[in-house]
Amino acid sequence: MYDLVLKGKFLKGRKLIDGSIGVLDGKISRISTGELKGEETVRIGRGKVILPGLIDVHVHLRDFRQRSKETIRTGTMSALHGGITAVFDMPNTDPPVLDSSTFRRREAAFSGRAYTDYALSFLLNGNCDEAKKAQADFYKIFMGASTGGIFSSDFESDYFCAPGIVSVHAEDAGLIQKKPERPPEAEITAIKRALKAAEKFRKPLNICHVSTGGGISSILRASLPWVSFEVTPHHLFLTKKDYERNPLLKVYPPLRAEEHRRALWENFSRIPIIASDHAPHTPEDKENGAAGIPGLETEVALLLDAVNRGMLELQDIVEKMHGNPVRIFGIRNKGLEAGKDADFTVVDLKKEWMVKPEEFYTKAKWSPWEGRKLRGKVVMTVLRGNVVMEEDEIIGNPQGGRVDAGKGRA
């Protein structure tokens, strides 16, 4: 007898299966095409599909001294609402996570407050000894300044000494200084430099939010198995023209001309990861030019809407927001198979809704897609066998834990 049985259509690999998933002690115990018996059975009705819990490898949850922008609580509630069961927290906080004691504070801040599971990061800038002490799940390098203003004075040496996978914000510091509008060259130059270093050091590198045709083609041409990259929904669905109409859409790297957006779509099948770069700010900070777009509560729905438009398939979402993140970041306790955490994102592909940011859990009560009608919605989120979000309501207390990326748990 299982604690919980989820019954309905689920996607396993490329196949849509009608069956049951048995959950015991928060773990997937059995995946079956037949019936399973549980203490509790959740029937997922017609038109809905059970996906493995989707993961967002790039979010800025603020907190610390920036609780007015977002807190771990509001940010992870927002994640659950958007169908995300694990988030990767970025370290450009205030104070930034540059030493092991701040890392320990970050760990403590998440404990008991996070509604999703989480991976924790450490910001590299000439502080490798501290990085080794911290034992983060991943490491972040800014090649040029972004929110928080910190960037590496020596990218190669920070990358070389990183104790684990590095996520890099690739925009060239010198070019940003000369051209504050951050043209495509700022990104392309930095990406080429990062690729050179990756060729030399042969260490895991994940290039964040690739936004240019030249950037994506350089990465694909280099084709280094230890190099991955992310693309954001805002770079897939918006352009510079949208920014010209709406200054709130200021973001680093900036929204690009249509030709770049097209290049991302032309290479869509080779994009390993889609991540939101959820970057909440207060309205005042946005008015004063803060860069960043909130995305946790719209990213999956935008992709579902695109599935309905024939631009991608449901399994692409699973590949880019579950399978690849798990593999690339080495998350041992996630995956749609027996023994892994019972995390699920249930979607209704046909449900139509309108984006109303005032109803969102994030403190950033705006969205580039405000007022937009989307077809496709996340209707339920399950974290380790518990239904934690249903029909826009968060259920229960924070139950998030740190993902197992092998740190101290080998």
Q: Which residues are annotated as a binding site for substrate?
A: 60-62, 92, 281, 291-292
Q: Which residues sit in the known binding site for Zn(2+)?
A: 58, 60, 140, 169, 209, 277
Is there a catalytic annotation at residue 277?
A: yes
Dihedral angle computed from the Cα positions of residues 30, 36, 42 and 43, in that order, rounded to the nearest 10 degrees: 110
| Residue 277 binds Zn ion (CB under 5 A) | yes
Q: Kindly tell me which of 142 and 361 has the beta carbon lying closer to ligand DOR.
A: 142
Residue among 99, 117, 277, 341 flagged as catalytic: 277
Rounded to a whole number of angstroms, the minimum distance from the CB of residue 18 to ligand DOR is 42
- Residue 225's SS3 state is coil
Whole-number Å distance between alpha carbons of 219 and 232: 16
Rounded to a whole number of angstroms, the minimum distance from the CB of residue 277 to ligand DOR is 6
Rounded to a whole number of angstroms, the minimum distance from the CB of residue 52 to ligand DOR is 27
Q: Looking at 33-99, which runs of residues are DSSP E strands?
A: 38-43, 48-52, 54-59, 84-89
| Residue 333 binds ligand DOR (CB under 6 A) | no
Rounded to a whole number of angstroms, the minimum distance from the CB of residue 28 to ligand DOR is 34
| Residue 219 binds ligand DOR (CB under 6 A) | no
Contact criterion met (CB below 8 Å) for 137 and 405: yes
Residue 233-272 contact track with ligand DOR, rule CB under 6 A, x = bound = ------------------xx--------------------
Whole-number Å distance between alpha carbons of 46 and 49: 8
Which of Zn ion, ligand DOR, none has residue 147 at its interface (CB below 5 to 8 Å by kind)?
A: ligand DOR
Per CB under 5 A, the list member of 48, 69, 81, 169 interacting with Zn ion is: 169
Whole-number Å distance between alpha carbons of 286 and 253: 16
Per CB under 6 A, the list member of 73, 81, 113, 169 interacting with ligand DOR is: 169
CA atoms within 13 A on the CB side of 109: 24
Whole-number Å distance between alpha carbons of 339 and 66: 38
Residue 338-377 contact track with ligand DOR, rule CB under 6 A, x = bound = ----------------------------------------
Left, alpha or beta for 322 (phi > 0: left; psi -120 to 50: alpha)? alpha
Closest CA to 120 of 45, 327, 111: 111
Q: Which residues pair with 15 in a beta bridge?
A: 12
Q: Which residues pair with 21 in a beta bridge?
A: 6, 31
Closest CB to Zn ion belongs to which residue?
169
Rounded to a whole number of angstroms, the minimum distance from the CB of residue 410 to ligand DOR is 31
CA 210 from chain centre, in angstroms, equals 14
Q: Candidates 123-131, 149-157, 164-172, 219-227 — which segment interacts with Zn ion by CB under 5 A?
A: 164-172
Burial class (CB in 10 A: 0-12, 13-18, 19+), 223: exposed
User: To 5 degrees, how large is the angle CA 321–CA 308–CA 334?
Assistant: 20
- Contacts (Cβ under 8 Å, ≥6 apart) of 301: 82, 353, 355, 374, 376, 377, 378
Rounded to a whole number of angstroms, the minimum distance from the CB of residue 31 to ligand DOR is 38
Per CB under 6 A, the list member of 279, 300, 314, 364 interacting with ligand DOR is: 279
Within 33-92, which residues bind ligand DOR (CB under 6 A)? 60, 92
Q: Kindly tell me which of 74 and 146 has the beta carbon lying closer to ligand DOR.
A: 146
Residue 269 in tokens:
């099948």
| Residue 70 binds Zn ion (CB under 5 A) | no
Binding site for Zn ion (CB under 5 A): 169, 208, 277
Catalytic residues: 277
Give contact residues for ligand DOR (rule: CB under 6 A): 60, 92, 146-147, 169, 251-252, 279, 291-292
